[in-house]
Amino acid sequence: MALEARSHNLLDDLVRRSRLSQFWATAAISAFLLSLLVLAAYLDGAFSEGFEWPIWRPHLEAPVIIIYTLILHPFLWKLHLKAVEAFRPLSRLDDREFDKVAEEVLTLDRRREWVAIIMGLAFILVLSQPWGWEHSGGWLRVYTIVTAPLMWGLLGWLVYVLVEGTLRLRRLGSNDLDVSIFNSGQLAPVARRSLGLSLVIMGGTTIAVLFAPRDELLSWQSITAYSLMVCVTLLTFFLSMWSVHRAMARVKYRELAMVQERMSAAYHELKQKEVGNEPEGTEALSANLAAWVTCEGWIKQAPEWPFAAGVIRRLAASTLIPGAAYLLKALLGSQGFRLGP
């Protein structure tokens, strides 16, 4: 029995209440944000100067990251659902019991989601310190003052959803699983989920770096924010992997102990026959012992992590890309460009 492909978080509940599909809700929000930006730019007369990147950059960052998050959220949910489903054939629970546990794993606490949003707002307030801002500026500045907290509230919520989902997924991995030590692909969806989360977070971080001016990149606020996102990436990846690693390691240890016990018994019996000068059956015992020795080598070489080296390389690349973008902008600066008269 497959799990219901319905998300159990605040954002999807709000989308369902709007009676729009995920696609049309995202399209409507995107159109609304960009239309307000165009209206604010028109009221400020920004179009008369063509397209000056330094003018538009600070106002585009928030709506672009909000739209990016809304577009990729369904993708993250599907990865999470597939990771949960990967435990079904390995669990010793029947379908009904597994569905009950999975429902608890997938359903988030609404209060904590709202707390995460408030913490995201508090985070940007502490970093940006708006009480020290200059109060001059037109409609574009008002637009940014409104959309920037929305972006950080959404990011705070997203970080909570990713970390909490990872911690809850560990509950399934901590159970006694019927894992084959020679088939790590059984839990590959968990690795794909972790890698997908990492790529999405680092993609958003890269977008933020590209939109940030050089002077802002070198501030302690930006360094703190980007460092935090890298830490979240690594945390969500290895937290979900650790419980699966422990489950695979337990199975490997158990199988290895059984094989070594059989080896010891076969060796002891073969030794007794040699000491007693009883050649009958020694050839079969020798072959049996050699087979167990071969099995021991196979088990020792069996992986303890549900991913290949390529996954680690992609994870490393996902963390290096925003870092490379950050260094290039910090060293070279932003030249800006102009379109139109």
Q: What integer pLDDT is reported at residue 75 of this predicted model?
A: 87
Q: How many domains does the chain have?
A: 2
Nearest Cα to 105, choosing from 161, 55, 60?
161
Range of the domain at 268: 256-300
Q: How confident is the model at residue 6, as a pLDDT?
A: 54
SS3 23: helix
Among residues 64, 56, 53, the alpha carbon closest in space to that of 335 is found at: 53
Question: Is 1 among the domain residues?
Answer: no
Bridge partners for 339 per DSSP:
51
Domain membership flag for residue 69:
yes
For residue 224, being part of any structural domain is answered with: yes
Q: Which amino acid is at 180?
A: S
Q: How far apart are CA 333 and CA 60, in angstroms?
A: 18
SS3 210: helix
How far is the C-alpha of 23 from the C-alpha of 15, rounded, in Å?
10
Q: Is residue 31 part of a domain?
A: yes
Residues 158 and 43 occupy one common structural domain: yes
188 and 157: one domain?
A: yes
Q: Write out 57-87 in H/E/C secondary structure.
A: HHHHHHHHHHHHHHHHHHHHHHHHHHHHHCC
pTM to 2 decimal places: 0.76
Query: Domain check: are 271 and 313 in the same one?
Result: no
Check residue 268 and give its pLDDT.
83
Number of helices (H), then strands (E), in the chain: 11, 2
pLDDT tens, N- to C-terminus, the chain (341 residues): 555 555 578 888 888 888 888 889 999 999 999 999 989 888 887 777 666 666 777 788 889 999 999 999 888 888 888 888 888 888 877 888 888 888 888 888 889 999 999 998 888 777 766 555 555 568 888 888 889 889 989 988 988 888 888 888 877 766 667 777 777 677 778 878 887 888 888 888 888 877 776 667 667 777 777 777 778 777 777 777 777 777 778 788 888 888 888 888 888 887 887 766 766 767 887 888 888 888 888 888 877 776 665 666 666 666 676 667 667 766 665 443 333 33
Both 72 and 197 in one domain: the answer is yes
Shared domain check, 261 and 196: no
Q: 261 and 155 in one domain?
A: no
**Quick one: which of 196, 205, 193, 192 has its CA closest to 231?**
205
Q: What is the pLDDT, as a whole number, of residue 341?
A: 36
Q: Are residues 19 and 122 in the same domain?
A: yes
Cα separation, 75 vs 155, in Å, equals 16
Residues 98 and 204 in one domain: yes
CA–chain centroid gap for 250, Å, is 25
- If asked whether residues 176 and 226 sit together in one domain, one would say yes
Q: ∠ CA(111), CA(115), CA(117), 5° rounding? A: 120
The three state secondary structure string of 270-334 is: HHHHHHCCCCCCHHHHHHHHHHHHHHHHHHHHCCCCCCCHHHHHHHHHHHHHHHHHHHHHHHHCC
Q: Please return the burial class of 200, using the count of CB atoms within 10 Å of its CB with bins 0-12, 13-18 and 19+.
A: buried
Q: Token pair for residue 183?
A: 């088939």
CA distances from 27 to 21, 24, 256, 299 (A): 10, 5, 55, 51
**What is the rounded distance in angstroms from the CA atom of residue 57 to the CA atom of residue 335?**
12
Q: What element of type H or E holds 339?
A: strand 338-339
| Whether residue 169 sits in one domain with residue 41 | yes
* pLDDT at res. 71: 92
Flag whether 251 is in a domain.
Answer: no
Q: Phi and psi of 339, rounded to 5°?
A: -120, 135
SS3 93: coil
| Distance between first and last Cα of the chain | 62
Is 2 inside any structural domain?
no
Q: What is the pLDDT of residue 67?
A: 94
How remote is the C-alpha of 248 from its chain's centroid?
21
- Report pLDDT for 271: 80
In a domain, 327, yes or no: yes
Residues 6+ apart with CB under 8 A from 128: 148, 221
Q: Are both 212 and 321 inside the same structural domain? A: yes
Q: Is residue 79 part of a domain?
A: yes
Is the domain of 137 the same as that of 264?
no
Neighbouring C-beta atoms of residue 278, cutoff 10 Å:
10
Tally Cβ neighbours within 10 Å of residue 333. Answer: 12
CA distance 41 to 94: 59
